[in-house]
Amino acid sequence: MDVAIVGGGVIGLSLAWSLAGQGRSVVVVEQGDFGRESSWAGAGMLPPGRLKGATTAEARLRAFSAGLWDGWAAALQSETGVDTGYRRCGGLHVTAPGEVRASNESTLFHEIREWVREGVEVHERRGEALREVEPALAPAVQDGYLLPTMAQVRNPRLVRALVAGCVMRGVELISGTPVIGFRRTGDRIAAVETSSGTVSADRFCVTGGAWSRQILAQAGVDVQVEPVRGQIVLLNAQPCPIRHVIECGPRYLVPRSDGRILVGATEERVGFDRRTTAGGIGGLIDFALSLVPSLASASIERTWAGLRPGSIDGLPYLGVVPGFDNLFVAAGHHRNGLLMSPGTAHLMQQLLSDERPEIALEPYSIRRGMNGA
Ligand SMILES: Cc1cc2nc3c(=O)[nH]c(=O)nc-3n(C[C@H](O)[C@H](O)[C@H](O)COP(=O)(O)OP(=O)(O)OC[C@H]3O[C@@H](n4cnc5c(N)ncnc54)[C@H](O)[C@@H]3O)c2cc1C
């Protein structure tokens, strides 16, 4: 086997699909069911970016990945027949109700300035002009920025397409099998130990999401990856009162094409606790109604929580693990793992194939988060 991947979320599956597309033999070992953790729980927002104007490490990976999404979704669909629900629905970033303009210190101001600098299409919309874009917005919401190229994907369908694509490309998929150790000889990993035997390969890549710290600890590496819980409420509103993804600070409304609206998300450091809470869900419903009051009559269809893989600075760890010749990592994508999955897969596939990655991977080095490195 050329490559063994540990963890079958969107990052591991995307990498496996990419590697198999280049003729590599690949096995993915997953402790539960494929794509049922953070990759299933996420909201599927895909913010835009333009690589030419990107100046930071975050912007480069975001823009590189955003630029791949059209072709990535089309290739997955034509190969597997699964529609991932990828579409450019546009996005609207608004100030909080009652706030007249985005202050120069606000995150919104900095995000918009970065997009403008990159050359992403952004239009300011105030007052009536804002309501022409989204008539159902509360009158107290006064200022916003329209991003026509923002997209979304339905992540459970994306995972289904990736699993189908991996099967069609001959990837060996092993589910219900936790990796519980590494067999090491010098600076090389010979095999991973699982609950039902060993898996050998030339190279290994850890894509264990929020569990990556525990997985790498088995190889004697301590890297700071922390679970960050995100709760979500799924509303059903017929007809759906909004068309764009609407973001306000760290929370958002994501309209699906079938009248459902995702309201997300909390950001909580509570360990590996996937429960939803009254405070979390109540806060999200209050938030939704403060932006779009007519959602008061929507039904609550479902609530859930997922564990984002948090890194020390919100950027993923990508590359070789120091001290090893054949152990790699692609983890810690925090709030952007769905967006960054095609870019991560592309760059890691290049690295694992001894090609020069199109974007230099040094800023994403795992050394940033390693204790004792
Ligand atoms: C509420 C919420 C909203 C989000 N919204 C967005 C969004 O709008 N846009 C966006 O881009 N991102 C979003 N994200 C983030 C995104 O979902 C994650 O960054 C991404 O899914 C991480 O993918 P992953 O494959 O690294 O992790 P996961 O999907 O968690 O996959 C890791 C896998 O590793 C497996 N594993 C763990 N330990 C072992 C072991 N010992 N052996 C074998 N397998 C193991 C797990 O079972 C799991 O399946 C959101 C996340 C949440 C929770």
Q: What is the pLDDT of residues 257-268, one digit of tens each?
A: 999 999 999 999
Query: Quick check: 266 and 230 in contact, CB under 8 A?
Result: yes
Confirm or reject: Cβ of 339 under 6 Å from ligand 1. Answer: yes
DSSP run (H or E) holding 109: helix 107-118
Q: Is the pLDDT of residue 40 over 90?
A: yes
Task: Provide the token pair at 62.
Answer: 């975001």
Q: What is the mean pLDDT of residues 200-213?
A: 98
Q: How many angstroms separate the first and last alpha carbons of the chain?
A: 30
Q: Is 86 exposed, middle or buried (0-12, 13-18, 19+ CB in 10 A)?
A: buried
pLDDT tens figures, 306-363:
999 999 999 999 999 999 999 999 999 999 999 999 999 999 999 999 999 999 999 9
Query: What's the CA gap between 23 and 249, in Å, rounded?
Result: 43
Cβ of 56: how many Cβ atoms within 10 Å? 13
Q: Is the pLDDT of residue 38 over 90?
A: yes
pLDDT at position 43: 97
Q: How confident is the model at residue 100 (pLDDT cuts 50, 70, 90)?
A: confident
Query: What's the CA gap between 203 and 329, in Å, rounded?
Result: 11
Q: How confident is the model at residue 250 (pLDDT cuts 50, 70, 90)?
A: very high
DSSP run (H or E) holding 373: none
* Chain Cα centroid distance, residue 223: 20
Instruction: Write down the domain spans for the chain.
Output: 3-82+154-225+312-369, 91-148+226-310
Query: What's the CA gap between 215 and 270, in Å, rounded?
Result: 19
Confirm or reject: Cβ of 163 under 6 Å from ligand 1. Answer: no
Q: Is the pLDDT of residue 372 over 70?
A: no
**Strand 26-29 with 172-174, pairing:** parallel
The Cα diameter of the chain in Å comes to: 67
Q: Is the pLDDT of residue 120 over 60?
A: yes
Q: Is the pLDDT of residue 130 over 60?
A: yes
C-alpha 337 – ligand 1 centre gap (Å) = 7
Confirm or reject: Cβ of 264 under 6 Å from ligand 1. Answer: yes
- Which ligand 1 atom is the nearest neighbour of the CA of 266? 1
Torsion of CA 125, 120, 53, 346, to 10 degrees: 140
Q: Please name the amino acid found at residue 268.
A: E
pLDDT tens figures, 290-308:
999 999 999 999 999 999 9
pLDDT at position 99: 81
Confirm or reject: Cβ of 341 under 6 Å from ligand 1. Answer: no
Q: How confident is the model at residue 102 (pLDDT cuts 50, 70, 90)?
A: low
The Cα-based distances of 262 to 160, 169, 268 in angstroms read 20, 33, 18
Task: Provide the token pair at 74.
Answer: 């089309």
C-alpha 271 – ligand 1 centre gap (Å) = 14
pLDDT at position 294: 97
Of 4-8, 115-119, 243-247, the least confident: 115-119
Ramachandran angles phi, psi of 307, nearest 5° = -110, 105
Task: Provide the token pair at 188.
Answer: 């090389």
C-alpha 22 – ligand 1 centre gap (Å) = 24
pLDDT at position 108: 80
Q: Is the pLDDT of residue 373 over 60?
A: no
Q: Please name the amino acid found at residue 368.
A: R
Cβ of 367: how many Cβ atoms within 10 Å? 12
Ramachandran angles phi, psi of 42, nearest 5° = -65, 170
Atom 2 of ligand 1 has which residue's CA nearest to it?
42
Q: Spell out the CATH class of 3-82+154-225+312-369.
A: alpha beta
Confirm or reject: Cβ of 230 under 6 Å from ligand 1. Answer: yes
Atom 3 of ligand 1 has which residue's CA nearest to it?
42
Q: Is the pLDDT of residue 103 over 80?
A: no
Quickly tell me which residue has 């101001």 as its tokens: 109
What is the CB-side half-sphere exposure of residue 149 using CA atoms within 13 A?
14
Atom 18 of ligand 1 has which residue's CA nearest to it?
337
Average pLDDT, the chain: 96
Confirm or reject: Cβ of 208 under 6 Å from ligand 1. Answer: yes
Q: How confident is the model at residue 106 (pLDDT cuts 50, 70, 90)?
A: confident
Question: Beta partners for 251?
Answer: 248
Torsion of CA 12, 15, 20, 24, to 10 degrees: -100
pLDDT at position 357: 98
Q: Is 356 exposed, middle or buried (0-12, 13-18, 19+ CB in 10 A)?
A: exposed
pTM of the entire structure? 0.97
Q: What is the mean pLDDT of residues 25-47?
A: 98
What is the CB-side half-sphere exposure of residue 236 using CA atoms within 13 A?
6
Q: Does domain 91-148+226-310 have CATH number 3.50.50.60?
A: no
Q: Is the pLDDT of residue 98 over 90?
A: no
Confirm or reject: Cβ of 42 under 6 Å from ligand 1. Answer: yes
